Amino acid sequence: MILVLIVSTLSCNPPTPSEEFKATPYELQIPKYFPTLLNIPDDNPMTVEGVKLGRYLFYDGRLRGYSGDNPDSLMSCATCHIQEYGFECGLDHPKYTDGHPYGIKGKHTTHSMLPLINLVFNNKGYFWNGSVYNEHPNPQMRNIEDIVLMAIVAEDEMFSTPERAVKTIENISIYPPMFKAAFGTEEVTIERIQKAIAQFMRTLISGNSKFDRYIRGIEQLSPDELAGFVLFTTEEGADCFHCHGSDGNLLMTTNDFYNNALDSVFTNLQDRYSVTQNPSDIGAFRAPTLRNIEVTAPYMFDGRFKTLDEVIDFYSEGLHYTPYVHPLMHKIADGGAMLTPRQKRQLKAFLLSLTDHEFLNNPEFSKPDNLP
Ligand code: HEC
Ligand code: HEC
């Protein structure tokens, strides 16, 4: 994703809604045993009307800018972020056959996709390298609101401008009343578009996989899944849990950044080091959540692995030693966890138990019927 710095003059003041205006507060349903620290900016409280508007905008392909030779070509957030693939683009996307997307103008994104799952619990930084975080000195690099604008304007994504996005949306008759319901007046502003889509993003909570039901004591894991869980959470086993959670962290990630021994030469210039300038972050990226990992192939920041078997083989015997490898990669001296074929099968069975079909099919997250 290209980070575009928007001059602050663009953020003109939206009109003040009338005194009586009150949208309906949106009650986030936090699954049992999930963290309760939420990343919601004070100036964008979630409302039912705001979330609804955000869902429409997320799925509206008219929000794109450039349309090349074909004025009918559309691109929305959901062109790349597809619900059934955990809001990634998947391997059988009609355009992104390598799982590595490109924008409306044909320019590839720097990294492969990230899922849009449980973003509201991430307080450490968004994107593969965490370059968007709450304390960022630039107020336009702090939260999901800012990512929305980046995606709308980035050349490798929707390649529009704030003015064009506003003009397009205010001329579509369904929208002004929805803006009024969400924000008190019909006025369409880029800030309101950002806020509404960010509100919708924060509702994308996944907490009902088979593994969750096991943790809540209402469903059993199969013997293989259970053995895989033990491998996942023990240092003698596959030792995955330090970075991908699960010892009391059901997000299946710490949302922290690690060099997980993928490479011996580091060529991607947008790694964690590019954000912190700390040499120990060379080649480090965020450990993504393993929820719904079954459907979010391809894997890693560059999408190099197409299957979970390839990922497991990598952690088992494919690690590359460099001085930058994170100390929590305890198996580095052996080149990996050295799993037997049976253990690999069990670990995979456990990873598959993290698929949350309710989330992937939830109609509240799907495309509204009356959009083109
Ligand atoms: C061309 C494909 C494409 C489109 C269109 C697109 N995205 Fe993304 N999105 C990506 C990729 C690739 C990443 C990972 C970028 C990175 O970290 O370098 C990403 C990352 C994100 C993230 C960060 C997730 C995380 O956990 O850090 C959010 C949030 C997001 N996109 C929201 C949106 C929204 C909202 C829109 C529409 C306004 C949108 N995206 C449009 C490809 C796309
Ligand atoms: C030291 C921390 C660490 C440990 C230990 C670790 N991982 Fe990871 N994992 C990461 C990081 C960081 C990434 C992303 C790396 C990248 O793309 O460069 C990742 C990526 C992945 C991915 C791909 C995610 C995606 O959406 O692309 C899977 C699957 C995965 N790990 C599974 C495991 C399994 C299984 C284990 C145990 C055998 C494990 N990890 C151990 C840090 C770790």
Residues 241 and 99 in one domain: no
Planar angle of CA 187, 191, 195, nearest 5 degrees: 105
What domain range is 94 assigned to? 30-205
Q: How far is CA 320 from its chain centroid?
A: 27
Which atom of ligand 2 lies at the shortest distance from residue 337's CA? 38
Residues 285 and 159 in one domain: no
> What is the model's pLDDT at position 70?
75
**pTM for the full model?**
0.94
User: Same domain for 121 and 186?
Assistant: yes
- In angstroms, what is the span from residue 160 Cα to ligand 1's centroid? 15
- The closest of 156, 154, 146 to 126, measured between CA atoms, is 146
190 & 215 share domain: no
User: What is the pLDDT of the chain when averaged over all its residues?
Assistant: 93
pLDDT at 10: 47
Is residue 68 located within the same domain as residue 43? yes
In this structure, which residue's CA is closest to atom 2 in ligand 1? 80
Closest-lying ligand 1 atom to the alpha carbon of residue 58: 37
Q: Report the separation in Å between the CA atom of 130 and the middle of ligand 2, taken as the mean of its atom positions.
A: 16
Q: Is any ligand 1 atom within 6 A of the Cβ of residue 132?
A: no
Q: Quick check: CB of 245 below 6 Å from ligand 2?
A: no
Q: Is the shortest distance between the CB of 59 and ligand 2 below 6 Å?
A: no
Q: Which residues contact 237 (CB under 8 A, 6 or more apart)?
A: 230, 231, 337, 343
Q: Of all protein residues, whose CA lies closest to atom 2 belonging to ligand 2?
A: 243
Residues 215, 97 within the same domain:
no
- Pair (221, 199) in one structural domain: no
> 230 and 277 in one domain?
yes
Beta partners for residue 286, in sequence order: 257
What number is the average pLDDT over the span 161-180?
97
pLDDT at 98 over 80: no
What is the model's pLDDT at position 19? Answer: 65
360 within some domain = no
Asked if residue 259 and residue 349 are part of one domain, the reply reads yes
Let me know: does 206 contact 357? Beta carbons within 8 Å.
Answer: no
Does 25 have pLDDT greater than 60? yes
- Asked whether residue 168 falls in the same domain as residue 226, the answer is no
CATH number at residue 181: 1.10.760.10
Cβ of 101 below 6 Å from ligand 1: yes
Shared-domain flag, residues 350 and 220: yes
Could you say which ligand is closest to the alpha carbon of residue 338?
2
Ligand 1: distance of its center to the CA of 344 in Å? Answer: 31
Are 193 and 165 in contact by the 8 Å Cβ rule? The answer is yes
Ligand 2 atom index nearest CA of 308: 29
Q: For residue 288, which atom of ligand 1 is closest to its CA?
A: 26
pLDDT at 82 over 70: yes
Together in a domain, 49 and 120 = yes
pLDDT band at residue 93 under the 50/70/90 scheme: confident
Q: Is the pLDDT of residue 8 over 90?
A: no
The total domain count for the chain is: 2
Task: Examine the fold and report which residue of 189, 205, 221 is the final residue of a domain before the chain moves on.
Answer: 205
CB of 328 within 6 A of ligand 2: the answer is: yes
Q: Establish if 304 belongs to a structural domain.
A: yes
Contact 291, 87 (CB under 8 A): no
Residue 6 lies in a domain: no
